[in-house]
Amino acid sequence: MFYKKEIKNYKNPLNGIQFKPLLYGEKMLMTEFLLKERSVIPVHSHPQDQTGYLVSGKMKLYIEDEMFVVTPRDSWYIPGNVKHNAEILEDSIAIEVFSPVREDYIN
């Protein structure tokens, strides 16, 4: 399966946060996030494991009690059911993979 970039059909769940599922299969989902400076992703958790890669920008990522300043080409892993949140310090683009698939993202 291949995906050709389209600049449309982004979902906007929070102010300054947009995302779009790119590809998914039976066991994983890859998603692109467009994150505006000064946006906040509140504390949350979900059963899926989550890995991410910052393409551009800068953010503070909190995983449980740890904080990381994430810059381009940094990556992260968040186990399922672990609380996490983020503060977006600059306009950013992130790619994240969820396993298993987040059905709420594709429906």
Alpha helices (runs of H) in the chain, residue ranges in sequence order: 103-106
| pLDDT for res 7 | 77
User: Residue 14: pLDDT above 90?
Assistant: yes
Task: Kindly tell me if the per-residue pLDDT of 78 is higher than 80.
Answer: yes
Q: Cα–Cα distance between 70 and 73 in angstroms, integer?
A: 8
Nearest partner of 79 among 54, 46, 32, judged by Cα:
46
In CATH, the architecture of 29-106 is Sandwich (2.60)
**Structure confidence by residue, pLDDT tens digits, 83-95:** 999 999 999 999 9
Q: What pLDDT does residue 36 have?
A: 98
Report the distance separating Cα 81 and Cα 65, nearest Å: 14
Secondary structure element (H or E) that encloses residue 55, with its range: strand 49-63
Find the mean pLDDT for residues 72-99: 98
What does the pLDDT average to over 19-41? 96
Instruction: Determine the average pLDDT of the residues in 61-75.
Output: 98
